Amino acid sequence: MESVIEQMKSFFEPKSIAVVGASTHIMKAGYIIFRNFVQNKRANIFSGELYAINPNEDFILGYRCYPSLSKTAAEEIELVVIVVPAEYVPSILREAHLKRTKAAIIISSGFSEIGNHLLEEEVKSIAKKEGIRTLGPNCLGVFDPHTGVDTLFLPETKTSITGKDMIATPRPKMGKMAVVTQSGAFGVASLDYLAGRRLGISKFVSFGNRIDIDETDLLQYFMADEKSDVILLYLEAIRKGERFMEIAGEVTKVKPIVVLKSGKTVAGAKAAISHTGSIAGSDQVYNAAFEQTGVIRAGDMEEFFGISKAFLFQPPTFGNNVAIVTDAGGPSIMASDECELRGLKIQDLSEESLCELEKMRDIGEIPKFASISNPIDLTGSVTSEMFEHTVRVVFDDSKINAVIFLGLHHVPGLQEDFVDRVASVSRRFLKPIVSCDIGETEMALYIRSRFEKLGIPSYSSPEDAAMAIAALYNYGLYLKKKNCFDTYLEKYRNKRSLVIDIEEESISRTDGLISRM
Amino acid sequence: MESVIEQMKSFFEPKSIAVVGASTHIMKAGYIIFRNFVQNKRANIFSGELYAINPNEDFILGYRCYPSLSKTAAEEIELVVIVVPAEYVPSILREAHLKRTKAAIIISSGFSEIGNHLLEEEVKSIAKKEGIRTLGPNCLGVFDPHTGVDTLFLPETKTSITGKDMIATPRPKMGKMAVVTQSGAFGVASLDYLAGRRLGISKFVSFGNRIDIDETDLLQYFMADEKSDVILLYLEAIRKGERFMEIAGEVTKVKPIVVLKSGKTVAGAKAAISHTGSIAGSDQVYNAAFEQTGVIRAGDMEEFFGISKAFLFQPPTFGNNVAIVTDAGGPSIMASDECELRGLKIQDLSEESLCELEKMRDIGEIPKFASISNPIDLTGSVTSEMFEHTVRVVFDDSKINAVIFLGLHHVPGLQEDFVDRVASVSRRFLKPIVSCDIGETEMALYIRSRFEKLGIPSYSSPEDAAMAIAALYNYGLYLKKKNCFDTYLEKYRNKRSLVIDIEEESISRTDGLISRM
């Protein structure tokens, strides 16, 4: 028997696909999904065979429409996407078997989430009997930017009253985050968040009622998937606790899993039951399970994305001594508070570092009113060069494990090149650094986005920056305990040097910074 | 003797002003500040007399420059802004006295924050002796969009390497938030945040080392200031505890104070000492003081702005029964969790409401798979009308005190008018409502901004929406306890009807929504 990893390929890179319930009505899911494939095929992103199935249509977007799977000439249809009312799903699965279908994505809702357990059980047993691996029902299915599989049935654009088109359901660019979600709505929201923040994904999977493929299968797949460096998992309940723990514990030895587990209170658990019919179980049990398996649990949505971003860009650490380099006294206190609350230490620098900073202060290489005890506050008189030199001293300090760079861009002496200077220094080290710039206008957004282009995750509040370092520290501790830290770091180093080569080249080819925004 | 409220007017609406240390060097604070006044005078925003003082310059921006305050012909200079090295400040204050100066803003640093306590004491005693009310030293001073007083010395624009100008220190539009800050850096960051989120301010005051005017004076002033509805206060330490408690307790009876108090941990307190020389004191004592005086304490920066926004737009409530109306199952669980964690209840609707929703479901006015137990999930089949009707039922329910509207815009049936429909229903009630839409791309930003234009604070995560309602509830409880709830609500009702009249008019004059973005 094929492994689940092999089987999953039928969802992500099928040689042939049929959309059952394909439609010409442009608001219908069956139209939107079929159109996704047609568009991706025309753009040479999707390369498989494509079939439209609907007894009431002749042609859809130039494709002949077949009344049923069996009426197609295909000997084999590897993946079937089902968008018909729930009651028709069993017969379609039976028919799919005749076309040697290996995988089905059941988009349709109307199963256990509304109390229709019998129908769900029937579908489940047919799929099992016929050997069809199934995603859903009541899900969004798959979006894979590499292969063009895209079963998201939400309209990509909406036309406003004034006639302007706006992107309603954006697809993020290609990247290294794998997004796995039990909730379709939260899944779409994630795509919108990641696209807006310019973070890329490797694959997106919404599994809904999971009669077959569940979170653990997906973890297993993404563990082996070289396109994925970080796994983002939204869950309302774990299906099979023991198996989850076994697999998750293996995955986290090689790549981080960041989980957002909702239903943690009585009110939340009650809401979860009426949503996907999930029984949430005790939150303490979940906490213990995540801790034991090295799964990083986010406290809320912002943390979920913020932590994932930290893992995407930076290495973990198993030391908790943090240095803060800043030009902003108040915000550095806020960061210090959050560090302590999350188990990090604002560590005194070594004697050597203090001497060096003192010397720099004496000869005017940093401002004469600079505070050189940690947080190192270069004050509003800072320049880009001063930040560069100070960050170097701090990285060089063997007492320091991680750096929070809190350089607000507003001060007069700071030109935009401070981002590149800090990034350039940080690349020579394998210690994590995160940055923070506060503000929501153009330049603040630009500075944060520039940091991330150069591999430093950037946050809009001091507390979020501290939170990110805490996550890198907790994961580093776990890796160390499992004796996997060195292997992980080595892999990180290799991946980073690849990325940096490309980035350095792109920098040297461009004169200005703004043009690279 | 004049009250502090009268005296403060010299800072915000001075008839004459001198910038001591005005400069022609465009990177210098003395240039930037003087230019602010010149620009605002030319634009007819600032209407006072304006003097440049600097012994080494003849003209600055077309203004004659005087070697000292005494060489000007003015009989009186109401406000003096001082931007010279610390050691010259005492003699300037003495000279200012001869010009009957009522107020001084000392921008200069180099006082207690670097251990120069003697000089600070000297300045303090001169100001006291000469009867000059003083802001600072080591501060940014004042920005008042109404009168054009603007002592922010940070460059408003920066020119990038490619020659493009970017706004580095944005000024928010006029509005109802008063921003009071001990940290200059956090102050500038706040302006950037508020400008980017299109939230307006009434006044901005950074008080730095506060040898005279402190947070309590400012609270007293803003209590009486009709242009300010919400007071945002960033603090590292309270100067005079008893007086603060006395005044804050009075202010909160008529308008909310939202505080971000940093230095809450040992690490944070240590950082605060080296920043403004403040001894933070026990955090528990602060918590108790804030609770007793009805000051709302924000847990972190995002909460600080998020809570303030809630007070700006919505009324408080003293009931904790919340209804969630949504099209997004997963996110509604996240909101339910956060509600419970913050002391709110996801309350069952009344029998009448349930009957009505059931009937609506039967006749197809809401989707047949909608879940009508709270959270009320209209699923991905929702339309704008369905949201409108459901929100009306929920507002009408006497068991419900507050509403979280969690309508993700991505679903096919939702057109942008859902925002206007929901806002329109909510205006007929005096119960608070907040909204959430998740996403960071154009349409999500547009939807959130549209909600806020129509008076509904809008958040980018379910947890933040719950946090906002919790703050409105806690403040409502406090007002109720102090027997001030009804008066507050009446005042809110009057202010809102004014705003709504203007808004309704602007809506009726415009056809599309996008054009009103």
- Which residues in chain A are contacts of B195 at CB distance < 8 A? 440-441
CA-nearest residue to A377 within chain B is B275
CA–CA gap between residue A509 and residue A194 (Å, rounded): 28
- Verify whether the Cβ–Cβ distance A369 to B183 is below 8 Å: no
Is the pLDDT at A205 greater than 50? The verdict is yes
Give the residue from A471, A421, A428 showing the smallest Cα distance to A447: A421
CA-nearest residue to B374 within chain A is A271
Under 8 Å between Cβ of A364 and B296: no
Indicate the residue of B268, B341, B371 with minimum beta-carbon distance to A274.
B371
Q: How confident is the model at residue A509, as a pLDDT?
A: 35
Q: CA of B498 to nearest chain A CA: how many angstroms apart? A: 28
CA-nearest residue to B327 within chain A is A185
pLDDT digits (tens, 9 = 90+) for B264-309: 999 998 888 776 666 556 899 999 999 999 999 999 999 999 999 9
- Verify whether the Cβ–Cβ distance A333 to B236 is below 8 Å: yes
Q: How confident is the model at residue A409, as a pLDDT?
A: 95
- Verify whether the Cβ–Cβ distance B337 to A263 is below 8 Å: yes
Q: CA of A190 to nearest chain B CA: how many angstroms apart? A: 7
- Verify whether the Cβ–Cβ distance B262 to A333 is below 8 Å: yes
- Verify whether the Cβ–Cβ distance B463 to A268 is below 8 Å: no
Is the pLDDT at B501 greater than 60? The verdict is no
pLDDT digits (tens, 9 = 90+) for A380-438: 999 999 999 999 999 999 999 999 999 999 998 898 899 999 999 999 999 999 999 99
User: Is residue A1 very low, low, confident or very high in pLDDT (cuts 50, 70, 90)?
Assistant: low
CA–CA gap between residue A187 and residue A301 (Å, rounded): 12
Q: What is the 3-state secondary structure (H, E, C) of B429-465?
A: CCCCEEEECCCCCHHHHHHHHHHHHCCCCEECCHHHH
Q: How confident is the model at residue A505, as a pLDDT?
A: 46
Instruction: Reply yes or no: is the peptide bond before residue B137 cis, omega within 30 of 0.
Output: yes
Over residues A221-231, the mean pLDDT reads: 97
Indicate the residue of A164, A195, A268 with minimum beta-carbon distance to B514.
A164
Place of tokens 């790549």: A255
Q: How confident is the model at residue A305, as a pLDDT?
A: 98
Q: How confident is the model at residue B200, as a pLDDT?
A: 96
- Verify whether the Cβ–Cβ distance A193 to B155 is below 8 Å: no
Give the residue from B319, B327, B257 showing the smallest Cα distance to B294: B257
**Alpha helix locations (H) across A164-323?**
184-196, 215-224, 241-251, 266-276, 283-293, 301-313
Indicate the residue of B266, B413, B463 with minimum beta-carbon distance to A301.
B463
Q: CA of A445 to nearest chain B CA: how many angstroms apart? A: 10
- Which residues in chain A are contacts of B193 at CB distance < 8 A? 438-440
pLDDT digits (tens, 9 = 90+) for B151-160: 999 888 887 6
Instruction: Reply yes or no: is the peptide bond before residue B375 cis, omega within 30 of 0.
Output: yes
Indicate the residue of A114, A154, A439 with minimum beta-carbon distance to B410.
A154
- Which residues in chain B are contacts of A163 at CB distance < 8 A? 512
- Which residues in chain B are contacts of A182 at CB distance < 8 A? 330
pLDDT digits (tens, 9 = 90+) for B227-246: 999 999 999 999 999 999 99
- Verify whether the Cβ–Cβ distance B336 to A164 is below 8 Å: no
Percentage of chain B modeled with pLDDT above 90 = 86
Residue A183's Cα: distance from chain center in Å?
15
- Verify whether the Cβ–Cβ distance B192 to A267 is below 8 Å: no
Is the pLDDT at A228 greater than 80? The verdict is yes
User: Which stretch of A348-362, A498-512, B2-16, B470-484 has the lowest confidence by average pLDDT?
Assistant: A498-512
**Alpha helix locations (H) across A108-232?**
117-130, 184-196, 215-224
E-strand spans in A61-127? Answer: 63-66, 79-82, 103-106
Give the residue from A34, A22, A25 showing the smallest Cα distance to A68: A22
Q: How confident is the model at residue B259, as a pLDDT?
A: 98
Interface probe for A, chosen from B156, B165, B215, B333 (most Cβ of A below 10 Å), is B333
Whole-number Cα distances in Å, B128 to A11, A26, B82, B132, B395: 77, 75, 17, 6, 55
- Verify whether the Cβ–Cβ distance A154 to B412 is below 8 Å: yes
Q: How confident is the model at residue B497, as a pLDDT?
A: 78
Q: How confident is the model at residue A156, as a pLDDT?
A: 80
CA–CA gap between residue A334 and residue A460 (Å, rounded): 13
Under 8 Å between Cβ of B310 and B434: yes
- Which residues in chain B are contacts of A275 at CB distance < 8 A? 329-330, 332-333, 371, 377
Place of tokens 């137990």: B373
Under 8 Å between Cβ of A279 and A268: no
- Verify whether the Cβ–Cβ distance A336 to B417 is below 8 Å: no
- Which residues in chain A are contacts of B164 at CB distance < 8 A? 512, 514
- Which residues in chain A are contacts of B439 at CB distance < 8 A? 170, 189, 192-193, 196
E-strand spans in B243-374? Answer: 257-261, 296-297, 321-326, 345-346
Q: How confident is the model at residue B158, as a pLDDT?
A: 81
| Cα torsion angle, B345, B348, B349, B352, sign | negative
Instruction: Reply yes or no: is the peptide bond before residue A375 cis, omega within 30 of 0.
Output: yes
- Residue B115 falls in which region: left (phi positive, over 0), alpha (psi -120 to 50) or beta: left
CA-nearest residue to B333 within chain A is A268
Is the pLDDT at A168 greater than 80? The verdict is yes
CA-nearest residue to B140 within chain A is A380
- Verify whether the Cβ–Cβ distance A183 to B331 is below 8 Å: yes
Q: How confident is the model at residue B165, as a pLDDT?
A: 83
Under 8 Å between Cβ of A390 and A382: no
Place of tokens 């502090």: B4
Q: How confident is the model at residue A289, as a pLDDT?
A: 95
Is the pLDDT at B60 greater than 70? The verdict is yes
CA-nearest residue to A187 within chain B is B330
Amino acid at B315: P
- Which residues in chain A are contacts of B192 at CB distance < 8 A? 410, 438-441, 444
- Which residues in chain B are contacts of A185 at CB distance < 8 A? 327-331, 380, 408, 410
Q: How confident is the model at residue B506, as a pLDDT?
A: 45
Amino acid at A232: L
Is the pLDDT at A514 greater than 80? The verdict is no
Interface probe for B, chosen from A116, A215, A275, A446 (most Cβ of B below 10 Å), is A275
Within 10 A of A485 (CB to CB), how many other CB atoms are there?
20
Token output for B285: 């004592």
pLDDT digits (tens, 9 = 90+) for A115-147: 899 999 999 999 999 999 999 999 999 999 999
Place of tokens 């600072």: B136
Q: Which residues pair with A260 in a beta bridge?
A: A234
Is the pLDDT at A470 greater than 80? The verdict is yes
Q: How confident is the model at residue B511, as a pLDDT?
A: 33
Token output for B473: 């509830």
CA–CA gap between residue B204 and residue B172 (Å, rounded): 10
User: Is residue B162 very low, low, confident or very high in pLDDT (cuts 50, 70, 90)?
Assistant: low
- Which residues in chain A are contacts of B166 at CB distance < 8 A? 442-443, 446, 514
Q: How confident is the model at residue B25, as a pLDDT?
A: 93
Is the pLDDT at A466 greater than 90? The verdict is yes
Q: CA of B83 to nearest chain A CA: how many angstroms apart? A: 14
Q: How confident is the model at residue A500, as a pLDDT?
A: 53
User: Is residue A275 very low, low, confident or very high in pLDDT (cuts 50, 70, 90)?
Assistant: low
Over residues A366-391, the mean pLDDT reads: 95
pLDDT digits (tens, 9 = 90+) for B192-216: 999 999 999 999 999 999 999 999 9
Over residues A139-156, the mean pLDDT reads: 95
Indicate the residue of A163, A183, A369 with minimum beta-carbon distance to B109.
A369
- Verify whether the Cβ–Cβ distance B340 to A268 is below 8 Å: yes
pLDDT digits (tens, 9 = 90+) for A81-113: 999 999 999 999 999 999 999 999 999 999 998
Q: CA of B372 to nearest chain A CA: how many angstroms apart? A: 10
User: Is residue B496 very low, low, confident or very high in pLDDT (cuts 50, 70, 90)?
Assistant: confident
Long-range residue pairs from B286-294, CB within 8 A, at least 24 positions apart, any chain = B286/B238, B286/B261, B289/B238, B289/B241, B289/B244, B289/B245, B290/B259, B290/B261, B292/B245, B292/B249, B293/B244, B293/B245, B293/B248, B293/B249, B293/B252, B294/B248, B294/B249, B294/B252, B294/B253, B294/B257, B294/B475, B294/B478, B294/B479, B294/B482
Give the residue from A428, A407, A429, A426 showing the smallest Cα distance to A418: A407
Give the residue from B38, B83, B268, B457 showing the smallest Cα distance to A329: B268
- Which residues in chain A are contacts of B171 at CB distance < 8 A? none
CA-nearest residue to B510 within chain A is A162
- Which residues in chain B are contacts of A187 at CB distance < 8 A? 330
Place of tokens 């925003």: B45
Kindly report the CA angle at A16 between A13 and A21, in degrees rounded to 5? 110
Whole-number Cα distances in Å, A471 to A306, B170, B352: 10, 33, 48
Torsion of CA A361, A362, A368, A374, to 10 degrees: 30
Over residues B165-184, the mean pLDDT reads: 93
Question: First CA to last CA across chain B, in angstroms?
Answer: 49
Q: Which residues pair with A167 in a beta bridge?
A: A157
- Verify whether the Cβ–Cβ distance A186 to B331 is below 8 Å: yes
CA-nearest residue to A182 within chain B is B330
Q: How confident is the model at residue A438, as a pLDDT?
A: 98
Burial of A25 (0-12, 13-18, 19+ CB in 10 A): exposed
Average pLDDT, chain A: 93
Indicate the residue of B110, B162, B410 with minimum beta-carbon distance to A369.
B110
CA–CA gap between residue B342 and residue A300 (Å, rounded): 14
- Which residues in chain A are contacts of B162 at CB distance < 8 A? 511-515
- Verify whether the Cβ–Cβ distance A271 to B411 is below 8 Å: no
Is the pLDDT at A161 greater than 70? The verdict is no
- Verify whether the Cβ–Cβ distance A336 to B271 is below 8 Å: yes
